[in-house]
DNA sequence: TTGCAATACTTAAGTTTCTTATGTATGTTT
DNA sequence: AAACATACATAAGAAACTTAAGTATTGCAA
């Protein structure tokens, strides 16, 4: 079994939006810092989303109408909670399906598994 | 079942070296154009490696000592056949294992599958 | 026989997406 | 009170790809 503390960053590229949209779909609403910690916990530290990558991505998702924001103050400190819009839910499904199909294709290509079905 | 003609390019980023090294591992030796066609055929056109991406990657792999070159002339037209060096074979194995581990982690994170084993 | 498509390689410019680094500010723990 | 964690923002740079243009040979069809 292959063991590593963290993936080369190349692999994670292109999956950030998919991860964020999926977590929001599963958890209803989350704030940015929470997302970084959740991903770190769920993956035993193998995937660590940096804030420099996450926050700009969240801003882009908002501009594109995929997520909405609610600000909440915990004492004096602001938290920005993000929730999927209807469009965001559609995009989340699409991204997840696309990724599932992609890894199926890659598994076949890398000879890790029989050819995926065409059904 | 999700159907698409081609993946958004983001997903493919970071997997190109893995694909190239794996194909060379499986096929012994290949030339650049052959790699692009093989990937297109094997994936029913879902993954199309552009020459602008492939050739620089091959040059980098050569600089890093992962692959060796043999030039052959088919008539007047040159073909550059690439083969894995010993180091390239090690890297190929590592890349494949890393990718397999990555998709296992991602499947869990995207709730597509139970948590991967730690064995 | 000419013109188009396929084969086969190269490389430069531009874009996207991430990393690295820095900045601001509050809350908690030792 | 120092250090660490929480919580956001953003700018500069790097990496990996796309797009595009170029060179040249070969094969096929009209």
What domains, with CATH codes, occur in chain B? 13-109 (1.10.10.10)
- Give the per-residue pLDDT at B103: 92
Q: What is the mean pLDDT of the segment spanning A10-31?
A: 93
Contact B89, B23 (CB under 8 A): no
Task: Say what the pLDDT of residue B1 is.
Answer: 40
What is the nearest CA distance from A98 to chain B, expressed in angstroms? 7
Output the pLDDT for position A75.
86
The CB density around residue B61, as the number of other CB atoms within 10 Å, is 21
Mean pLDDT of the A67-78 span: 92
Express each pLDDT in B41-65 by its tens digit: 999 999 999 999 999 999 999 999 9
**A window 45-104, beta carbon within 8 A of B:** 46-47, 96-103
């Amino acid at each position: 079994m292959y063991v590593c503390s963290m993936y080369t960053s190349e692999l994670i590229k292109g999956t950030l939006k998919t991860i964020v949209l999926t977590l929001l779909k599963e958890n209803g609403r989350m704030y940015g810092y929470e997302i970084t910690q959740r991903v770190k916990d769920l993956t035993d530290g193998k995937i660590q989303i940096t804030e420099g990558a996450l926050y700009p991505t969240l801003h882009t998702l908002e501009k594109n109408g995929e997520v909405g924001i609610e600000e909440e103050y915990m004492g004096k400190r602001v938290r920005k909670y993000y929730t999927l819009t209807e469009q965001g839910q559609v995009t989340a499904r699409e991204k997840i399906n696309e990724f599932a199909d992609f890894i199926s294709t890659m598994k076949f290509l890398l000879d890790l598994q029989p050819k995926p079905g065409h059904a």
